[in-house]
């Protein structure tokens, strides 16, 4: 077990271990007691027991993509899983056993090439499975295929006492329930996911895109809202406000990505949108040959490394005037690298979810990804996000854990009964608060967890 201690390591080595794998370059001023570079389950068990010996907390880093850098906690033992990568595939049962630090791109790159299979993981290529799945996993075609965590058939977990457990629908059911939606408050360390796979639709992977000037914002948004209910079951739909590559003005980019078994089926799926689209697009394409690899490349461009980020989100009420609620967010971006996103969640949002912690959703998912390079722009960009969210929150029902920062904004992340059950499970399995849990303002939540309530005064 390789350990970098804060008080004895070379400062540069400690700093690299502390934040070198943190994606957001708006790095926190929080300092772990030590960083454990784990390469096995045994290392993870040993690190948890070391924390107990030192009477300190445990934090975990899978991919390092948490916008709020939840893994970096004062006086904790940080278990960094970046060097713990392992994948086994049972082709016959279509089950993959994958470690938390594997990214979506790494996982699917192997699955597609070797087996013709895929897992509907995160859209950003470098997001680790660990945090993504614990938060529920708003993955590829979530509006139809459901949440990625619904395809988690089991998890292997090191508990707060250092015990290794296998958790599924019949064994250690409470931890299995919590692992699908608890987020950073999960009372243990996941060492392996058992994932249900699906065939990769190579032949019928297609996309259509429409870029409108922002002056057509309302017309284009109304169109999308009108066609989303009942749209094809293998097609995801997104609306993005951004400055597209090669265009020096704010635009509304509407993207349809369909994943069918054959090109003819893809064309049939995308045709209704193409035939009903509003006039006035600056650029457009219809049923273009696409791939998961290309989509990852586009996502990487939109989420560049070495930048500063501030992300926020909300599920908008189903009966809200969504274009009106989101107009400021979509038409006043503070930086040319920033973007605002609306993601269609219907019909997944209307069905009864499996019995799991994840329980917050609506027809309309909205997220802000404010991206900039210079520290001098921190206050301006963060204040813009806060201003927008103060207004949007009044039309929201809650938020998604993955694009949130509990230090800044209080809101709901679960249905009330699920939140109460989750906090009870946290206290039962980690009564001493060994696992760091939710990073609220001042890192005070401890075993209490989050209140799961809106604060409209913010």
Interatomic CA distance for residues 123 and 257, integer angstroms: 12
Tell which of 143, 165, 199 closes a domain: 199
Q: What is the span of the domain harbouring residue 150?
A: 87-199
Q: Which of 282, 299, 369 is nearest to 334 (CA)?
A: 369
Write out pLDDT tens, residues 256-290. 999 999 999 999 999 999 999 999 999 999 999 99
Q: Both 339 and 212 in a single domain?
A: yes
Cβ pair 227, 220 in contact under 8 A: no
What is the model's pLDDT at position 457? Answer: 53
What is the model's pLDDT at position 164? Answer: 98
> Phi, psi at residue 122, to the nearest 5°?
-70, 155
Interatomic CA distance for residues 248 and 103, integer angstroms: 33
Q: Which of 128, 29, 32 is nearest to 407 (CA)?
A: 29
Q: Both 127 and 163 in a single domain?
A: yes
For residue 43, give both structure tokens.
């290392």
Interatomic CA distance for residues 40 and 49, integer angstroms: 15
Cβ pair 27, 69 in contact under 8 A: yes
What is the model's pLDDT at position 1? Answer: 82
Cβ pair 430, 160 in contact under 8 A: yes
The distance of Cα 66 from the centroid of its chain, to the nearest Å, equals 8
DSSP-based three-state secondary structure for 363: coil
DSSP assignment of 50-69 equals: HHHHHT-EEEEESSS--TT-
pLDDT, averaged across the chain: 97
Report, in this order, helix, strand and coil percent for the chain, each rounded to 5: 35, 25, 40
Write out pLDDT tens, residues 26-60. 999 999 999 999 999 999 999 999 999 999 999 99
Tell which of 34, 57, 80 closes a domain: 80
Q: Both 159 and 214 in a single domain?
A: no
For residue 24, give both structure tokens.
């957001």
Residue 251 lies in a domain: yes
What is the model's pLDDT at position 454? Answer: 79
The secondary element (H helix, E strand) that includes residue 239 is strand 235-242
Q: Both 265 and 129 in a single domain?
A: no
Interatomic CA distance for residues 359 and 413, integer angstroms: 8
Interatomic CA distance for residues 214 and 198, integer angstroms: 37
For residue 253, give both structure tokens.
């980019």
The distance of Cα 378 from the centroid of its chain, to the nearest Å, equals 23
Query: What is the pTM (predicted TM-score) of this model?
Result: 0.96
Write out pLDDT tens, residues 88-144. 999 999 999 999 999 999 999 999 999 999 999 999 999 999 999 999 999 999 999
Q: Both 54 and 120 in a single domain?
A: no
Interatomic CA distance for residues 69 and 21, integer angstroms: 10
Write out pLDDT tens, residues 211-254. 999 999 999 999 999 999 999 999 999 999 999 999 999 999 99
Q: Is the dihedral of CA 86, 400, 389, 449 positive or negative?
A: negative
Cβ pair 308, 25 in contact under 8 A: yes
Cβ pair 64, 128 in contact under 8 A: yes
Q: Both 31 and 136 in a single domain?
A: no
Q: Both 294 and 384 in a single domain?
A: yes
Q: Both 172 and 316 in a single domain?
A: no
Residue 190 lies in a domain: yes
Interatomic CA distance for residues 19 and 422, integer angstroms: 29
Q: Both 64 and 130 in a single domain?
A: no
| pLDDT band at residue 458 under the 50/70/90 scheme | very low
Token look-up 């957001």 returns: 24
Q: Both 116 and 223 in a single domain?
A: no
Percentage of residues in the chain having pLDDT higher than 70? 99
Cβ pair 253, 216 in contact under 8 A: no
Q: Which of 327, 291, 289, 341 is nearest to 138 (CA)?
A: 341
Percentage of residues in the chain having pLDDT higher than 90? 98
CATH of the domain at 64: 3.30.43.10
């Amino acid at each position: 077990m390789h350990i970098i201690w804060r008080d004895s390591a070379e400062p540069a080595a400690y700093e690299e271990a502390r934040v070198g794998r943190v994606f957001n370059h708006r790095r926190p001023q929080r300092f772990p007691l030590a960083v454990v570079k784990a390469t096995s389950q045994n290392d993870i068990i040993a690190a948890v027991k070391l924390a107990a010996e030192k009477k300190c907390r445990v934090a975990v880093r899978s991919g390092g993509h948490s916008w709020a850098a939840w893994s970096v906690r004062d006086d904790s033992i940080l278990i960094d899983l970046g060097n713990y990568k392992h994948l086994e595939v049972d082709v016959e049962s279509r089950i993959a056993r994958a470690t938390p630090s594997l990214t979506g791109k790494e996982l699917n790159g192997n699955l597609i090439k070797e087996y013709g299979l895929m897992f509907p993981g995160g859209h950003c290529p470098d997001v680790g499975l660990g945090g993504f799945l614990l938060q529920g996993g708003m993955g590829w075609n979530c509006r139809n295929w459901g949440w990625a965590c619904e395809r988690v058939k089991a998890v292997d977990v090191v508990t707060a006492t250092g015990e290794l457990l296998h958790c599924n629908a019949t064994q250690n059911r409470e931890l299995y329930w919590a692992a699908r939606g608890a987020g950073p408050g999960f009372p243990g360390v996941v060492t392996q996911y058992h994932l249900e796979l699906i065939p990769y639709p190579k032949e019928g992977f297609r996309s259509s895109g429409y870029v409108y000037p922002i002056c057509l914002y309302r017309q284009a948004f109304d169109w999308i809202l009108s066609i989303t209910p009942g749209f094809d079951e293998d097609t995801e739909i997104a609306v993005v406000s951004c400055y597209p590559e090669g265009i020096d003005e704010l635009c509304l980019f509407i993207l349809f990505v369909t994943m069918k078994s054959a090109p003819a089926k893809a064309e049939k799926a995308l045709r209704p949108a193409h035939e009903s689209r509003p006039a006035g697009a600056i650029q457009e394409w219809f049923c273009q040959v696409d791939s998961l690899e290309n989509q990852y490349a586009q996502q990487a461009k939109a989420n560049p490394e070495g930048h500063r980020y501030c992300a926020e989100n909300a599920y908008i009420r189903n009966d809200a005037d969504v274009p009106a609620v989101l107009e400021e967010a979509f038409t006043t971006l503070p930086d040319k690298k920033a973007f605002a996103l609306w993601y269609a969640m219907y019909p997944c949002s209307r069905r009864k979810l499996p019995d799991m912690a994840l329980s917050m959703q609506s027809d309309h998912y909205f997220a802000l990804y404010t991206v900039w390079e210079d520290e001098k722009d921190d206050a301006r960009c963060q204040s813009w996000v806060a201003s927008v969210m103060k207004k949007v929150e009044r039309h929201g029902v809650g938020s998604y854990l993955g694009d949130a920062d509990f230090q800044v904004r209080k809101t709901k992340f679960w249905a009330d009964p699920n939140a109460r059950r989750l906090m009870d499970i946290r206290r039962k399995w980690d009564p001493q608060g060994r696992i760091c849990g939710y990073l609220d303002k001042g890192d005070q939540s401890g075993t209490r967890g989050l209140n799961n309530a809106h604060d409209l005064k913010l």
